[in-house]
Structure 1
Amino acid sequence: MTELRWTLVVPIKAASEGKTRLADWLEPGPRAALARAMVGDTLAAGAAVHVVDRIIVVTADRRTADAARRAVRGASAPVVLDVVGEPDPAGLNPAVRAGLDRARLVAPAHGVAVLLGDLPALRAADLEAALVQAASHPLALVADAAGTGTTLLTALPGQPVDPAFGPGSAGAHEARGHVRLVVPPGSGLANDVDVRADLEVALTLGVGTRTRRALHGTSGPPARDEPLP
């Protein structure tokens, strides 16, 4: 049986507009740098998954697009990166639809997987295990650690997708036919970052090098149990 190949769709808002719930302790510049760093670590993990052949980034942020190219360029196996501009009107779900449209156009035989870009503790093994599960379901999802949001949304070739990202998206996606996948406790795939407490959890799990440098400067990463500044 031929192994299913996947295209990842990663919607990313402009870094200057992202992670506003971190604004109580991070100034705009460092906050934008952290957002781009988390995107880079997420994409580097995604590009290291051997069943992923293509990544489509949807963004209007040129610097984020450049960071994405650098992250994917370092993958051990060749991965095609497409950058799609943010549609008008803007928004997460329109961006997801634009990425899915592109994926279905350029790689119709691939499964498609919408992956959030703020998963700094993601490991390639986390994502690969989820995609192996997802290959057995026409539509599937991975919920966030709280169980209410969605960090990964998948569909087999030819399956229509109606994205419903936002508050309560896991339940909304289930109502649209997506099967909730089981990931092990502590999986970086379930730990997206919206608030400082999420970062504390991600650091405990072990974030990627880009995120560590953004948080702590370039003098070297902190110990796993070192608190945030």
Structure 2
Amino acid sequence: MSERWVVVVPVKVANEGKTRLAGVLDDRVRVALVRAMALDTVAAAAAAALVGRVLVVTADPELRAAAGRSFGLVDEPGPASLVGAVTAGFAAARAAVPGASVAALLGDVPTLRPADLDDALGLASLVPLGFVPDEEGTGTTLLTARAGAQPAVRFGPGSAAAHAAAGHVALSVGDESSLRRDVDLPADLDALAARGPGPRTAALLARLHG
């Protein structure tokens, strides 16, 4: 049987998320978009065949209420940081499932297809440490560590190069993989509707366009 993974999804408190979209979205819409994208990402991850458990790391009260009905929750350590959230999530994953293979999936991949995550995790099962770069090739959307391997968490500017330098292998997912399509900039937002986002994000975009 194929190896199953524990996937950790870190999500900022929504009013602090996606600040680079503040120039094109008012705060209310931006906060709603952060939550919608996160819940769509989490749902897609949970639907992947190679995912055995999903843990959401967040201090956002609405996300905790929504995600906690279906997924595990991990308290976000303070002071808030992506590296701290991922590290806490990995520790919680291995405490809950000793010896688990673990992956951190960022919560802003609302067009994620479960099959694309399965493809990446299948590749990750062949190496101790792996990562998937974003569409631009500079950031990281997925960070993986097989059972017994200690991940080097290097999220931040230039994280793809930092993860590679720390020993993570770039997983050869295709350029067309939905796993590479995170949403950070207004240009990403422009392309989002055409790429088929999950139902919460799609409904929000439809209301905006309406």
Q: Identify the TM-score tier after normalising by the shorter chain.
A: over 0.9
Q: Is the 8 A contact 1:188 1:202 kept in 2?
A: no
**What TM-score do the two structures reach when normalised by structure 1?**
0.87
Of residues 169, 190, 196 in structure 2, which corresponds to 1:206?
196
Q: Is the 8 A contact 2:134 2:182 kept in 1?
A: yes
Q: Which residue number corresponds to residue 29 of structure 2?
A: 30
Q: Is the 8 A contact 2:87 2:153 kept in 1?
A: yes
Question: Quick one: which amino acid aligns to residue 83 of structure 1?
Answer: L
Q: Which residue number corresponds to residue 225 of structure 1?
A: none
Give the alignment of 1:103-122 within 5 angstroms: 103-122=93-112
Post-superposition CA distance 1:178-200 (Å, at most 9, x none): 11012223221001001121122
Q: Which residue number corresponds to residue 78 of structure 1?
A: none
CA separation in 1, counterparts of 2:197 and 2:6?
A: 24
1:140 aligned counterpart, secondary structure:
strand
CA separation in 1, counterparts of 2:148 and 2:141?
A: 21
Question: Quick one: which amino acid aligns to residue 30 of structure 1?
Answer: V
2:108 aligned counterpart, secondary structure:
coil
Q: Which residue number corresponds to residue 152 of structure 1?
A: 142
The answer to whether structure 1 residue 170 and structure 2 residue 160 are counterparts is: yes
Q: Is the 8 A contact 1:121 1:191 kept in 2?
A: yes
Q: CA RMSD in A?
A: 1.5
CA-CA distance at 1:89 after TM superposition: 2.3
2:188 aligned counterpart, secondary structure:
helix
CA separation in 2, counterparts of 1:178 and 1:65?
A: 30
Q: Which residue number corresponds to residue 45 of structure 1?
A: 44
Question: Quick one: which amino acid aligns to residue 111 of structure 1?
Answer: S
CA separation in 2, counterparts of 1:149 and 1:192?
A: 9
Q: Which residue number corresponds to residue 57 of structure 2?
A: 58
Q: Is the 8 A contact 2:196 2:202 kept in 1?
A: no
Count of aligned pairs between the two proteins: 210
Of 205-214 and 127-136, more deviation after overlay is shown by 205-214
CA-CA distance at 1:158 after TM superposition: 1.5
1:217 aligned counterpart, secondary structure:
helix
Give the alignment of 1:53-202 within 5 angstroms: 53-69=52-68, 73=70, 81-202=71-192
Q: Is the 8 A contact 1:56 1:99 kept in 2?
A: yes
CA separation in 1, counterparts of 2:189 and 2:148?
A: 36
Q: Is the 8 A contact 2:193 2:205 kept in 1?
A: no
Of 135-144 and 180-189, more deviation after overlay is shown by 180-189
Q: Is the 8 A contact 1:121 1:203 kept in 2?
A: no
Of 137-146 and 200-209, more deviation after overlay is shown by 200-209
CA-CA distance at 1:23 after TM superposition: 0.6
**Unmatched 5+ residue regions in structure 2?**
none
CA separation in 2, counterparts of 1:187 and 1:206?
A: 13
Q: Is the 8 A contact 1:103 1:112 kept in 2?
A: yes
Q: Is the 8 A contact 1:36 1:67 kept in 2?
A: no
CA-CA distance at 1:201 after TM superposition: 2.6
2:116 aligned counterpart, secondary structure:
helix
**Unmatched 5+ residue regions in structure 1?**
74-80, 219-227
CA separation in 2, counterparts of 1:28 and 1:48?
A: 31
CA separation in 2, counterparts of 1:4 and 1:110?
A: 9
CA separation in 2, counterparts of 1:10 and 1:20?
A: 19
